């Protein structure tokens, strides 16, 4: 179930979501790639949630029973991990646990596409989050993905995102220079973030983890997706306000900023103009 897309978000509303995370400390299970696993685990902890990286057959399904939300990240797709995803999905369905899909690199190889399609056929995802190329590829639109990076122009990304939302029943987040959040009923553009986020490997994976954290604490998937994407972008902006020498020190700033982004601190933020409803 998705909610009506808002035309604005207030600092107080975003603060309420951060407070919900603080109060519930959701356990978020990650079946993710090894390249960014440490950053994903740390960022989950910095949002005041609890990370667990149970991703092997058997253990994944057992751990899922106690999770508040689960993240599937297809950045690496060894057979055992894919099997573990299906195990975890079966448990999640039994216990009504939401799953977020981050289809990393879909569109770059047939294997990744086949894995993503098998998951979409078997799992009712709560949120699907990917870059413009990945979301377009899943929606059946021409896309250019090199490795795990989206390249090219995506003038109709909101249409692709809404189409994917209609076909999957999930809320869809398409991340890019401006982020798009779509449901079957419409789409919004969200302006938040900083160019330095693109200079750090793994920020896309960390956004997926952030969406899972918010989804684990909030009942409504669309509110979770919007507030997670907005909070992530604001943290990226605030990290750039601290002194940094390059990507490595900016990455540290970003983690520190997320750890310090508390409910009372965002309540007075002026967020007017951050969201544009797309008709």
Q: DSSP for 1-33?
A: --PPPPS---HHHHHHHHHHHHHH--EEEEE--
Length of the chain: 279
pLDDT at position 279 is: 64
Task: List, in order of start, the domains of the chain with CATH numbers.
Answer: 11-278 (3.40.1190.20)
Report the distance separating Cα 205 and Cα 54, nearest Å: 17
Q: Write down the pLDDT at residue 177.
A: 87
pLDDT at 12: 95
The span from the first CA to the last CA of the chain, in angstroms, equals: 21
Q: Is 250 helix (H, G, I), strand (E, B) or coil?
A: helix
Q: By the 8 A CB rule, do 147 and 105 touch? A: yes
pLDDT of residue 42: 98
Residue found by looking up tokens 């899972």 in the block: 212
The 10 Å CB-count burial string (b at 16+, else e) for 119-148 is bbeebebbbbbbbbbbbbbbbebebbbeeb
Q: How far is CA 272 from CA 14, 98, 222, 234, in A?
A: 13, 30, 19, 13
Q: Is the dihedral of CA 141, 143, 149, 152 positive or negative?
A: negative
The confidence score (pLDDT) of residue 98 equals 98
- The reported pLDDT for the residue numbered 204 is 95
| Predicted structure pTM score | 0.93
What is the distance between the alpha carbons of residues 61 and 73, in angstroms, rounded to a whole number? Answer: 16
pLDDT at 105: 85
Q: Which residue ranges are tagged as binding site for ATP?
A: 129, 175
**Token pair for 34:** 């090894």
The pLDDT tens digits along the chain (279 residues) read 446 798 899 999 999 999 999 999 999 999 999 999 999 999 999 999 999 999 999 999 999 999 999 999 999 888 899 999 999 999 999 999 999 999 998 887 888 889 999 999 999 999 999 999 899 989 987 555 544 444 445 668 899 999 999 999 999 999 998 999 999 999 999 999 999 999 999 999 999 999 999 999 999 999 999 999 999 999 999 999 999 999 999 999 999 999 999 898 898 898 989 999 886
Q: Is 229:207 a contact under the CB 8 Å cutoff?
A: yes
Q: Give the ranges where 131-246 is alpha helix by DSSP (H).
A: 132-138, 157-168, 203-217, 221-241
Residue positions forming the annotated binding site for substrate: 53, 202
> Which parts are annotated binding residues?
53, 129, 175, 202
Q: At 52, phi and psi to the nearest 5?
A: -140, 135
Q: List, in order, residues 6 or more apart from 54 with CB less than 8 Å away.
A: 29, 31, 60, 62, 63, 64
Q: Is the dihedral of CA 86, 88, 93, 96 positive or negative?
A: negative
Q: Alpha-carbon distance 205 to 136, whole Å?
A: 18
> What's the pLDDT at 156?
83
Q: What one-character DSSP code corresponds to residue 5? A: P
């Amino acid at each position: 179930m998705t909610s009506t897309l808002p035309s604005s978000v207030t600092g107080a509303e975003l603060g309420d979501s951060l407070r919900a995370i603080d109060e519930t400390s959701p356990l978020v299970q990650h079946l993710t790639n090894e390249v960014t696993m440490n950053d994903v685990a740390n960022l989950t902890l910095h949002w005041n949630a609890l990370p667990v990286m149970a991703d092997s057959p058997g253990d994944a399904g057992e751990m899922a029973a106690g999770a508040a939300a689960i993240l599937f990240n297809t950045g690496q797709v060894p057979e055992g991990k894919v099997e573990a995803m299906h195990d975890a999905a079966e448990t999640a369905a039994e216990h009504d646990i939401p799953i977020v899909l981050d289809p990393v690199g879909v569109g770059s190889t047939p294997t990744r596409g086949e894995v993503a399609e098998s998951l979409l056929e078997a799992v009712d995802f709560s949120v699907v989050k990917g870059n413009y190329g990945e979301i377009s590829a899943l929606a059946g639109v021409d896309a250019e993905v090199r490795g795990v990076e989206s390249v090219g122009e995506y003038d109709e990304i909101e249409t692709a995102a809404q189409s994917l939302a209609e076909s999957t029943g999930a809320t869809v987040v398409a991340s890019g220079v401006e982020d798009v959040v779509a449901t079957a009923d419409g789409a919004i553009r969200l302006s938040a973030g900083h160019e330095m986020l693109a200079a750090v490997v793994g920020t896309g994976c960390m956004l997926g983890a952030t969406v899972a954290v918010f989804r684990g604490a909030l009942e409504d998937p669309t509110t979770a997706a919007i507030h997670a994407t907005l909070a992530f972008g604001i943290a990226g902006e605030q990290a750039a306000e601290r002194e940094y020498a390059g990507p490595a020190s900016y990455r540290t700033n970003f983690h520190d900023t997320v750890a310090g982004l508390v409910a009372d601190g965002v309540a007075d933020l002026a967020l007017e103009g951050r969201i544009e409803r797309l008709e």
